[in-house]
Structure 1
Amino acid sequence: MTDPGLSRRTLLRVSAVAAGSVALAACSSNNPGSTGSGNGNGTSSPTNSAAVGSTVDPLPKPAKFNEAPQLAEQVKSGKLPAIAERLPENPYVIPHKWVTPGKYGGQIFTFTPGTEEGSHAEYMYGHSLLRYLNDGQDIGPGLVESWESNSEATRWELHFRKGLKWSDGQPWTTEDIMFWWEDMVLNEEHSEVPPDEARSGKGTLMKMTAPDPLTIVMEFDAPAPLTADRLAMWVNRGNGPGWMEPKHYMKQFHPKYNPKTPKTWASDEGQFDQKRAWTRNPDCPVMTGWRCKSYDEGKIVTFERNPYYWCVMPNGDQLPYLDGMTLTAVARAEIQKLQAQQGKVNFAYGGFTALFLADVAGFKQAQSKNHLRVLLWDAGDGSGSLVFFNQDYFEPKLRKLFRDAKFRQALSHAYNRKEVRRAVYYDTGELTTGTMSPKAIEFQIDGEAKKNYAAWRDSFIDYDPELAKKILDEIGIVDKDGDGKREMADGTKLRIHLDYHADSAPEHVSKNNLLARDWNAIGIDTKLNPVAPEGYGDQWRFGKLMTNTNWETGDGPNCLVYPQWMVPIESSRWAPLQGEFYNVRGTPAEKEQLDLDPFKRTPPRMEPEKGGPIEKLWQLYDQSKIEPDAVKRRQLVWEIAKVHISDGPWLLGVCANTPYIVLVHEDMKNVPEKENLKLGGFAAPWIHPSPAVYDPETWYWTNPEAHTTTP
């Protein structure tokens, strides 16, 4: 991590309370999903529900509401309105089957690599319009109570909950979305860019209007069938797009509304962006369960309960149960592990820390002293630590070699994945050549889907050094001078660099050492090459680095919401210059600088080979973007996977779906175990935001009074 349609084709109002319905089956029931109740109070009918499951009755609105004692005291003293006035007319009722009514009070105390980490927002799903449920197999409501699309998926209506309020008690309205859209996204002076869900299948921007304070209309010039999926992914105002800002607060820092605003308002150093940073600015209103209470840069961030949070338990308890969270900056991995073993935290999530499988034994041994249980959620990634060659490497002969599927297939067969799996991942996960997530709906939906996934997973996976040598011999990569190392076909020396961030996690370095040993064993001169993180991205997109060896694939739950691993459409993955060429298609830049060397263009970009595999991938992906039928889109994903099999592998993984560590104090309840979750967890992708999708606002202490201060 650094760094996600509709099933009914007629005009259909699907109502959001059936997120209750989707989620009653949710996260751990045996029901495979839901397509929506259509009862005027239910859920969406998203792409990934197209061929699964049945409708489940939604959770009813509670007959009465309950609140935290500290809020009740403020109501009694007149500092807060009554709870019924603070909640929307129809609050979101938490649907997960593993949750039980809890107690109010206590805090989470954990560590974070730094106080400006985007991971802080990943605990809170409250700004999201829609929500992933059932480990991404379904979509339920969020701030949006119900939504609808026409049969072509070119017009979408979003209907928001009546009575929503910001954490300062001010009403939330669609003006807060239009402020973000008109005064930030469409404002060329601000750096905010349109998110994926704002574009049609042709790549053009939607027209967005707000006919009333509770309705947003999105109109596209071509089908935009993935809109609901994309509205659920990420956490808005976190690692995802903003989608809203509290206009009543932020307009004072915007020159359109305040002429005295300094000219630097839109820069990174400007006051506007500093004020909107809600995880660092206690004054900025939020819609999340907790709001920033204090921020000490580089040291500590604290969050406190939002008295206007719009989510409740089935029994009517307003959430969150916990008074707040305290996150202390601990950058060094060894200090994080030591603090966890000593019980100086009462919760820790492996996705945001340096905790890894190698530490499990030590944590379990310390459990009797620190009282931290070890939970293991499935990562849902498709590779483990990954290796991929730069298909646009600047040196022509090596670029041609890296684009030769036979060369990559040979190196895949020379890779002893079983040993890496045993040494690095402790025999967890499933061996794979490297794919999109095995939990993606396109690979889960039925038996044919699972066969298609298995075909991709198992392609070129067999460890067979002799076969690898034979393939290399066939393409002319042989030892010409007798030094034991293979040369290029023209006799040029061949050396492969395994490039990685110099501060990479141990799993990547350990894997690289074993991989280098395997490739050296078949005569490929292979060296590890640590690179300063600061310049890594630019070197990659300019084609200066051979390989990337410190990422993992993990995106989903739908392969098409974030397809960058499957299809080169930007500059950070396996074909950076061709991906950048895709980015400028349809813009004036597409026809500019064609007389320049691709590496000297601004930005560096090159067109794919005519009739080549990347052009095939683009064609299939372009079809998928405007295909309103979910079944046909799924088939297009399978066709993309077949190109990865016939012309790949481009992604050399180890093992998919390894566990993520979650340390939870034994007194904390409602934190789901793997067995509670629909697919065992889906922790790796940022676009399926964990732990936010499991609603930390429902977590509670059996003895809150014992967890009010740092352990």
Structure 2
Amino acid sequence: MSFRLAAIATVALLFATASAQADWISPPYFAKDEQDGKLPPVAERIPEHPAVAEMPRQGQQGGELQTLLASARDMRQISYYSYARLVCYDRDYKLVPDILESFEDDKDKVFTLHLRKGMKWSDGQPFTTEDFRYYWEDVANNKDLSPSGPPKDLIVNGKPPKVEFLDETTVRYSWDEPNADFLPKLAGAAPLYIYRPSHYLRKFHAKYVNADKLAEAVKESGQPSWAALHNRRDNMGRNDNPKLPTLDPWVLRTKPPAQRFVFTRNPYYYRVDQSGHQLPYIDQLIVNVAASQLIPTKTGAGETDLQARYLRFDNYTFLKVGEKHGTYWVRLWDDGRGSNLALFPNLNTSDEVWRRLMRDVRFRRALSLGIDRHEINQAIYFGLGNEGANTVIPASPLFKPEYRNAWANFDPVLANRLLDQIGLNQRDESGIRLLPDGRPAVIIIDIAGDSTEETDVLELIKDTWHSIGIDLYPKPSQIEVMRNRIFSGDAQMSLSYGIDNGFPSADMSPQDFTPTTQQQYQWPKWGQYLETGGEDGQKVDLPEAVQLQDLMGQWRRAGDSDARARIWGQILAIWADQVYTIGTVAGIPQPVVVSRHLQNVPERGMWAFDPGAAFGVYKPDTFWLDQPGPLSPVADNK
């Protein structure tokens, strides 16, 4: 990643285009506010050198886009889709400047970030290196706000970076050893936010506010302390505080809780099209909340202009019928996950007997060998998928067929032999093996229960597992309940989506394949331990998993792409051999429903959370409506 000259050259070319503009063009949406003096002219709202968007077709301003989400908590998805990042992935998944004017990377040890002069937050206040200083000195290194210290992504071999604020638009992060993960983390769907709107958050910080005044604010808020109040107001990217300034293209105007959320365009947004029109093209986003199970039906009824989340391949036929009514198109995008659905044995489950089994690689291998993936592919996915393990997919330059095929063929004879070797050689009258404590080997599998797809897949697995003496029962629950059961150790096993990033390059983080976060259902307590610096969770204690953890550290400190590729190879080989998760079928197309009036949405794309932030990599600020239509009123609920 050393000195990404191509990215810098690209941005220089865009600057040349931008500089040629004699006038920037303000959206009609702001005409009255400009006329009334509530907003300055557009030339005073955007940076001196705005980002110039590339897009298939330049569009027209205006209109309202409606979409559906399952809860107020899901409003963070709008931040993911908006995909305003210091650096971002382009459509070729190369890292390029975005919010930043440019950046310099010296051997992955020294990163110099150049902000855009004159850039502003959504409330019109300057966005400068003061916002980076505030975060680093007053948040990340404040024991009240960050008891564990700076994020682990900023710690290399136990040491934080040296952070220098060189001037109003230049900040530098330096480490003694390489930190290859720094730029990818900044570009993540849920990114590493290394800045804050300091002018807003100072009002809740003990360093900047009179103690009596702050105590009164804490009392009024109902929070237990000034730190709790500050953290409650400081939820970057979550879209749960309409007063928190943002750099996103659209600004939340509705205070949760609600069933309908309105986002209006950011008057100070930093991007323009190639003709000088300030983006985004669309004036308002309307997000309606509906139960996840109802979202496919509502989508088919035309109640959304852009929808992919909560849609599954098993909705495709129904959606195609609705397409005939002429209001939307159904497109099929490639899926970027390592497996459409995967099983996650909980190596940290609280049940001691099951924990010993889950930690025995022979047991995990036997369960994988006991699945007939070809049957699942044919019966549920019409033979469209790629059968195999939960690992990288052919779209990744790191892909090898042996990773996908490891312990993934249907071989009940070998599976039975492995289970006998473990000592599970006693069965009950129905043929189910008995655990060492005499219980039948019945695995309770936690699922979110959003679709019949999970239960259909599990029904097929149940049939073939019976031939190796293992039974299963699905336990559906709400996603938050399911996660809490996994995190606490109550769950033995779960079924969910496979690896998020199934198409990594050597320069992308191998975090999905190593213990890093509590969100990894196969080892949540190990991930929690690493996330909290050892304050919570459990220390990684299986040799091969410890090796993965060490390799993750080596990858971060590696000095070049070739070294990182070699480390990736070791990680993927261990992952394949140890079967920490059990994949089924990958490459199942993702339905994407697009209003026939919505333009610049790709016909074919890659549906992936990270990298790419789902729609984000295609920059929805460039999507536009060919028939804008009237706008919904914006409620004033400050």
After TM superposition, the score normalised by the length of structure 2 is: 0.88
The answer on 1:689 being equivalent to 2:635 is no
Shift of 1:324: 1.0
Measured in 1, the distance between the counterparts of 2:356 and 2:452 equals 32
Shift of 1:208: 1.8
Measured in 2, the distance between the counterparts of 1:519 and 1:560 equals 39
Aligned to 2:466: 520
Of the three residues 560, 570, 575, the one matched with 2:523 is 575
The answer on 1:389 being equivalent to 2:345 is yes
Contact 1:542 1:604 in 2 (8 A): no
Aligned to 1:367: 323
Gaps (5+ residues) in structure 1? 1-5, 21-40, 44-56, 590-601, 675-679
Of the three residues 627, 632, 635, the one matched with 1:703 is 627
Q: Give matches, 1:320-335, under 5 Å.
A: 320-334=280-294
Q: Secondary structure of 1:360's match?
A: helix
Measured in 2, the distance between the counterparts of 1:143 and 1:72 equals 25
Shift of 1:305: 1.5
Shift of 1:418: 2.1
Measured in 1, the distance between the counterparts of 2:418 and 2:109 equals 49
Q: 1:526 to 1:79 in 2, by over 3 A?
A: closer
Of the three residues 283, 286, 291, the one matched with 2:251 is 291
The one-letter amino acid of 2:70's match is P
The answer on 1:93 being equivalent to 2:23 is no
Deviations 1:262-284 (A, max 9, x none): 35486796366237668344433
Shift of 1:183: 1.7
What is the aligned-residue identity percentage?
27
Deviations 1:385-407 (A, max 9, x none): 11021224445554333233232
Q: Give matches, 1:303-382, under 5 Å.
A: 303-334=263-294, 336-348=295-307, 350-351=308-309, 354-369=310-325, 371-382=327-338
The answer on 1:242 being equivalent to 2:193 is yes
After TM superposition, the score normalised by the length of structure 1 is: 0.80
Contact 1:380 1:658 in 2 (8 A): no
Aligned to 2:445: 499
Q: 1:58 to 1:637 in 2, by over 3 A?
A: farther
Of the three residues 491, 496, 499, the one matched with 1:550 is 496
Contact 1:373 1:666 in 2 (8 A): yes
The answer on 1:416 being equivalent to 2:372 is yes
The answer on 1:177 being equivalent to 2:132 is yes
The one-letter amino acid of 2:80's match is E
Measured in 2, the distance between the counterparts of 1:165 and 1:654 equals 47
Q: 1:15 to 1:196 in 2, by over 3 A?
A: farther
Measured in 1, the distance between the counterparts of 2:391 and 2:244 equals 40
Shift of 1:291: 1.4
The one-letter amino acid of 1:703's match is Q
Aligned to 2:62: 105
Deviations 1:482-530 (A, max 9, x none): 6422335x68444131321454543323222221222113222333334
Deviations 1:608-652 (A, max 9, x none): 24xx32233233223222111111111111111111233x21211
Deviations 1:27-50 (A, max 9, x none): xxxxxxxxxxxxxx379xxxxxxx
Q: 1:121 to 1:268 in 2, by over 3 A?
A: farther
Q: 1:398 to 1:302 in 2, by over 3 A?
A: closer
Contact 2:263 2:285 in 1 (8 A): yes
Shift of 1:366: 1.6
Contact 1:495 1:527 in 2 (8 A): no
Measured in 1, the distance between the counterparts of 2:226 and 2:496 equals 31
Q: Give matches, 1:45-124, under 5 Å.
A: 61-64=19-22, 65-72=24-31, 74-96=33-55, 99-117=56-74, 118-124=76-82
Q: Secondary structure of 1:179's match?
A: helix
Aligned to 1:669: 599
Alpha-carbon RMSD across the aligned residues, in angstroms, is: 3.1
Q: Secondary structure of 2:317's match?
A: helix
The one-letter amino acid of 2:545's match is I
Aligned to 1:654: 584
Shift of 1:15: 7.5
The one-letter amino acid of 2:208's match is Y
Shift of 1:257: 1.6
Measured in 2, the distance between the counterparts of 1:194 and 1:606 equals 20
Measured in 2, the distance between the counterparts of 1:486 and 1:421 equals 28
The one-letter amino acid of 1:705's match is G
Q: Secondary structure of 2:262's match?
A: strand
Contact 2:7 2:95 in 1 (8 A): no
The answer on 1:214 being equivalent to 2:169 is yes
The one-letter amino acid of 1:468's match is A
Of the three residues 225, 238, 247, the one matched with 2:180 is 225
Measured in 2, the distance between the counterparts of 1:575 and 1:129 equals 31
Contact 1:385 1:552 in 2 (8 A): yes
Deviations 1:192-223 (A, max 9, x none): 963454222x1432232212110111122322
The answer on 1:639 being equivalent to 2:570 is yes
Shift of 1:104: 1.0
Contact 1:165 1:171 in 2 (8 A): yes
Aligned to 2:413: 466
The one-letter amino acid of 2:201's match is M
Contact 2:88 2:187 in 1 (8 A): yes
Q: 1:466 to 1:693 in 2, by over 3 A?
A: same
Contact 1:421 1:655 in 2 (8 A): yes
Q: Secondary structure of 1:157's match?
A: strand
The one-letter amino acid of 1:316's match is G
User: How many matched pairs?
Assistant: 620
Measured in 1, the distance between the counterparts of 2:9 and 2:233 equals 38
Q: 1:537 to 1:622 in 2, by over 3 A?
A: same
Q: 1:684 to 1:509 in 2, by over 3 A?
A: farther
Aligned to 1:158: 113
Contact 2:390 2:583 in 1 (8 A): yes
Q: 1:341 to 1:645 in 2, by over 3 A?
A: closer
Gaps (5+ residues) in structure 2? none
Contact 1:495 1:524 in 2 (8 A): yes
Measured in 2, the distance between the counterparts of 1:285 and 1:430 equals 44
The one-letter amino acid of 2:600's match is N
Q: 1:346 to 1:530 in 2, by over 3 A?
A: closer
Question: Which moves more between the two structures, 57-66 or 279-288?
Answer: 57-66
Q: Secondary structure of 1:81's match?
A: coil
Measured in 2, the distance between the counterparts of 1:605 and 1:196 equals 17
Q: 1:17 to 1:80 in 2, by over 3 A?
A: farther
Of the three residues 454, 463, 483, the one matched with 1:508 is 454
The one-letter amino acid of 2:620's match is P
Contact 2:292 2:450 in 1 (8 A): no
Contact 2:389 2:406 in 1 (8 A): yes
Q: Secondary structure of 2:459's match?
A: helix
The one-letter amino acid of 2:546's match is E
The answer on 1:253 being equivalent to 2:213 is no
